Chains A and B, each alone.
Chain A
Amino acid sequence: MKVIEKETLIGKRIAKLDAPDKASGKTHYVHDLNLPGQLYGKILRSTRVHARIKRIDVARARALPGVHAVLTATDVSYQCPLGVGKDQLPLKGDKVRSRRDEIAAVAAESEEIAAAALALIEVEYEDLPPLTDPAAALAPGAPVIHDEKTPPLAPHESLKPGAPGDAEAHRHNVAMTFDYEQGDVTVGEALSDVIVDDWFRLHYVTHCCMGVSGIIAEFDSAGNLTLYSNTQVPFLHKREFAEILGMDPGRIRIIQPPIGGGFGSKLDIYPFEPICVFLAKATDRPVKLVFSREEEFIASPTRQPVLLRLRSGAKKDGTLTFRTCETLHDNGAYTSWGATTPFVMMQTISSLYRVPHCKYHTTAVYTNNPYAGSFRGYGNLQATFAVEQHMDKLAEALGIDPLAIRLTNAQDPGEVTPQGMHFKTCGLKECLATAAGASHWREKHTAAIAAQKAPGRYKRGVGMASMLHVGGGAKIYPSDGCGTILKIDDFAHLTLLTGASEIGQGSETVLAQLVCEELGLPLDAVTVVNNDTDITPWDVGVHASRTTFIGGNSALGAARKAKAKILAAAAKVTGLPAAELELRAGHIVRAATGEALMNLARLLRSLHFSDKAELVMTTHYYEPPSHHQDKAFKGDVSAAYAWATQVVEVEVDTETGIVKLLKVTGAHDVGRVLNRLGIEGQIEGGIVMGQGYALTEELIVEDGVVRNPGFRDYKLVTAPEVPAMDIHFIETMDGEGPQGAKGVGEAPAICMAAAVANAICNATGVRIYELPFTPEKVYRALRRESVPAGTA
């Protein structure tokens, strides 16, 4: 008797399925693809931040040999507003509102010819007063940035509350507003023994995907459009492109070649994408449009810059009484997902800890600055920066230990917050205790305070911060679902067609693992197809840390249906009840003993080539049991919530202001570890991205102009600067999650800046309210040379 023991893939260190091709240079990103007959597109961008276009002369560009098309707004017969706010056209004809504005585009036989043609285009501007300070843009009598006669179209349907598109608001440069309230903050204030009140200033950073933005557009002879695109939301873009181009969505196919980094940057539709389609249409040739790195810095989205005022109160025993939060979001010239970060920010304000009374307000103001998109963490880095510094400040004011005040107010499993979030699993207290214990936080924190006034150039300190983020999708769109088609061939090889997108995060491998676990197959028995809207079923996109949870449950649903079908067939053949059978290592086995009864491939062939002539093919669409928020922003938007605490240890050189990040101890409630190698990689990468946000990265925007559009002056963290890391996984086994897992993609970046701020304060006694913590800023703060911006 052959016995097959039960083996599991869950929790193992599984190498990514796409890694061998990537490591050998065989992976073809959009930059590496070239279609026969392809032309090269390039965009002419505004050299002014705010101006009327008086004249564009493209005659010399058109006359250049090798140029196939030169397009301006007047050459395109149909243009429709695009993006989250529907407040810009792809090609701007009358007015430019930022330095990135697209005013002409060229398709030519080479990139060099296209660039030469751009240089031949003459543009005459009439400058308008630039508005690059959001507070000034709100002042009465300020010039109006969106003075279009016809107001923008209704915005994305997901944005009904506080939505843009209000022509009257636009006349005051207000793009969007958000208001949220729970309880009565005046009651909370009256109950408070201590209140802290501060301004925080969060800066511009940008995604810096190693693969720059790019797209290829091609029409066939029937007018069907194929796009080779880096988008993170292919199915939403199908519809968006249809609207923008005046096409039937059924005639648009989006293929995603492997993507060189996403991090949220590819969630909205940007002007370069329809412009590439316009060029393909005008020339009847495939057109490829790829950014330069400089263009990527100037014309791809940023993280949302925020000016934030937070008031927090607590009783003597540390119990939180209230929070009020007001933010001014610099919306830039157009409205993308950055403006909508209040969706997430208010969750942290209201629900990271128990706060009975809470009030939140955001005004997003149009300026002539770059505009922000979504970026890993989506407003949560900004909100957590303020909230977690206030937890330390309240503790200090009350003479309570910072860990104790967090434990006092931490959420528990089962809690339904006033905002309506239901924490079915919640490992926050365990995260706090684990991160504090493993890092020896209490001893180090106490010792650092004692050493603050002691002589010595180098000061060490520890700081902690926790976070709450969606971990089971986010019901923003009408559906937050994902579809799967699963088929098994005559040789027990499985093809998984999933709507979920792989952007390097490893979802392809996790989905394969989940399905193989269910069907008792080795990982090399599966092919994942996840990049073609003509083939794969619908998915809302790769964002909100949702793919493992939503795509995973969808894949599991299809696998379970396939398993039921196989076991039913096996039951007939073996004469045993299906409930007593299992699938292991490509065999049907007796569940109780592991006795191999028959080979799966043989069973499949007998099913296929029998009178029944049946193939094992299943489909599943998973919609998470979450809810849309109501107009007051209340509702259980995610099927699960992720938690984490990170403790950082820093060394501050008080003579230079250089802050060295020595160690990060993280405890993450991830539900359950599915692929240990993959989840470690997500957390390590997120920590370093958060490190960059805290310490080194800043997109310097002066008078609307990006001053450091290159890696020489935009400082990404490099390998020698990476801190030691000690990562702990808290497995709360979420009941809804696939095998108990929750989303984790965004979580590790969220706490870092707040924890570093608290650590610098622990080391030096000086609290800094503005990012990033550059040597100059720290040096000046230590000497109290200037009051941190916004605190005056």
Chain B
Amino acid sequence: MSHKREIGFMLNGVRTRATVPVEMSALAMLREVIGLTGTKYACGEGECGACTIIVDGKSTCACLMFAVDCEDRELTTIEGLARDPLGQRLEQAFVECGAVQCGFCTPGMIVQAKSWLEAHPHASRAEVARAIEGNLCRCTGYVKIVDAIVAVAEKEA
């Protein structure tokens, strides 16, 4: 139906090519074309942060980005954090601090935390809360999510 384009980009450190409809979002490309489902759809309008990915070092809502705009960019998703030392520490801290309940917001939270901690390694509790204010969670009340990120920040310090 729609016009398609083939694009190339780095995804979690791997050179990747994908053929995508021009109106497709980066979120839909990751989930439906590439098959990485760790990045979640929960609102589709950039309000909840469940689809947070890192593009060229900056955290971004994948639902707000066209897939074709990923051309020549460097993308990191939750799956890519499995091989990243800071990502691993965050994942472990989320588990140990009880920051995960239903888990649907968790990948977006962790990606956001990773992106933010890289630039602000010695974050305070209030700064961490501010850093994840664009990520909604309905289960935890955020307390243990902030605990987990602060625990990693302290270790980094």
Contact = CB atoms under 8 A, between A and B. Distances in A.
Q: Do A and B bind each other?
A: yes
Interface in B14-45: 31, 36-45
Given A25-B37, A686-B141, A719-B133, A15 B95 contact: yes
Contacts of A176: none
B127 to A, nearest CB: 10
Contact of A684 (B79, B102, B130, B141): B141
Interface string A7-26: 00000010110111111111
Interface stretch (B3-11, B104-112, B115-123): B104-112
A293 B105 contact: no
A689 interface: yes
Interface string B127-155: 01110111111111111111000000000
Taking residues whose C-beta sits less than 8 angstroms from the other chain, chain A's interface range is 35 or more
A261 B105 CA distance: 10
- B126, B135, B139, most chain A CB atoms within 10 A: B139
B102 A19 contact: no
B138 A263 contact: yes
B14 to A, nearest CB: 16
A25 B98 contact: no
B57 interface: no
Nearest to B24: A112
B43 to A, nearest CB: 4
Contact of B104 (A26, A29, A113, A678): A29
Given A681-B144, A710-B45, A716-B138, A19 B37 contact: no
Contacts of B45: 293, 710-712
A207 B104 CA distance: 14
A13 B97 CA distance: 9
A15 B143 contact: no
A285 B98 CA distance: 40
B43 A261 contact: no
Contacts of B97: 677
Contacts of B105: 210
Given A260-B104, A718-B133, A711 B141 contact: no
A716 B133 contact: no
Nearest to A683: B141
A292 interface: yes
Interface string A662-702: 00000000000000011011001111110000000000000
Interface residues of B, number: 58
- B128, B130, B141, most chain A CB atoms within 10 A: B141
B131 to A, nearest CB: 8
A258 B31 CA distance: 17
Contacts of B138: 207-210, 261, 263, 685, 689, 716
B1 interface: yes
A506 B95 contact: no
B91 A258 contact: no
Contacts of A495: none
Contact of B103 (A22, A113, A680, A686): A22
Contact of B132 (A18, A680, A685, A719): A719
A510 to B, nearest CB: 13
Contacts of A31: 37, 40-41
B86 interface: no
B110 A23 contact: yes
Contacts of B134: 718
A15 B96 contact: yes
A522 B27 CA distance: 40
B43 A710 contact: yes
Given A25-B78, A504-B139, A211 B42 contact: yes
Nearest to A31: B41
Contacts of B92: 23
Contacts of A478: none
A503 interface: yes
A212 interface: yes
A28 interface: yes
Interface of B: prevailing SS: loop
Contacts of B91: 20, 23-24
B102 A209 contact: yes
A503 B139 CA distance: 10
A22 B140 contact: no
A678 B139 CA distance: 11
B139 A292 contact: no
Contact of B47 (A16, A211, A504, A712): A712
A503 B102 contact: yes
Contact of B126 (A18, A678, A685, A720): A720
A685 B98 contact: no
A677 B143 CA distance: 12
Interface string A285-299: 000000011000000
Given A711-B48, A725-B143, A718 B100 contact: no
A211 B136 CA distance: 12
Interface string A707-718: 000111000111
A235 to B, nearest CB: 21
B124 interface: no
Contacts of A685: 101, 138-141
B136 A718 contact: yes
A722 B38 contact: no
B77 interface: yes
A374 B86 CA distance: 40
A618 interface: no
A32 interface: yes
Contacts of B104: 29, 209-211, 260-261
Nearest to B127: A720
Contacts of B101: 16, 504-506, 681, 685
Contact of A293 (B38, B43, B77, B107): B43
A719 B106 CA distance: 14
B108 to A, nearest CB: 9
B62 interface: no
A673 B105 CA distance: 26
Given A15-B95, A719-B133, A259 B102 contact: yes
A27 interface: yes
A292 B42 CA distance: 8
B133 to A, nearest CB: 4
Contacts of B50: 210
Contacts of A681: 98, 101, 139-141, 143-144
B146 A23 contact: no
A722 B44 CA distance: 25
A241 B96 CA distance: 39
Nearest to B87: A24
B78 to A, nearest CB: 4
Nearest to A505: B101
Contacts of A716: 136, 138
A23 B103 contact: yes
Contact of B79 (A25, A720, A722): A25
A274 B75 CA distance: 39
Contacts of B110: 23
B45 to A, nearest CB: 6
Contact of B102 (A23, A24, A260, A711): A260
Contacts of B140: 681, 684-685, 688
B37 A32 contact: yes
A231 to B, nearest CB: 15
Per CB-CB distance, the 8 closest pairs between chain A and chain B, nearest first, are A25-B38, A22-B103, A504-B102, A688-B141, A260-B104, A25-B78, A711-B47, A32-B37
12 contacts: A23-B94, A23-B99, A25-B38, A29-B104, A211-B40, A292-B44, A503-B102, A680-B98, A680-B143, A684-B141, A711-B48, A720-B129
Interface of A: 13, 15-16, 18-29, 31-32, 112-113, 207-212, 258-263, 292-293, 503-506, 677-678, 680-681, 684-689, 710-712, 716-720, 722, 725
Interface of B: 1-2, 31, 36-45, 47-48, 50, 77-79, 81-82, 90-92, 94-107, 110, 126, 128-130, 132-146
Given A293-B44, A684-B144, A719-B135, 9 more contacts: A19-B94, A25-B79, A260-B42, A261-B138, A293-B42, A716-B138, A718-B134, A720-B126, A722-B142
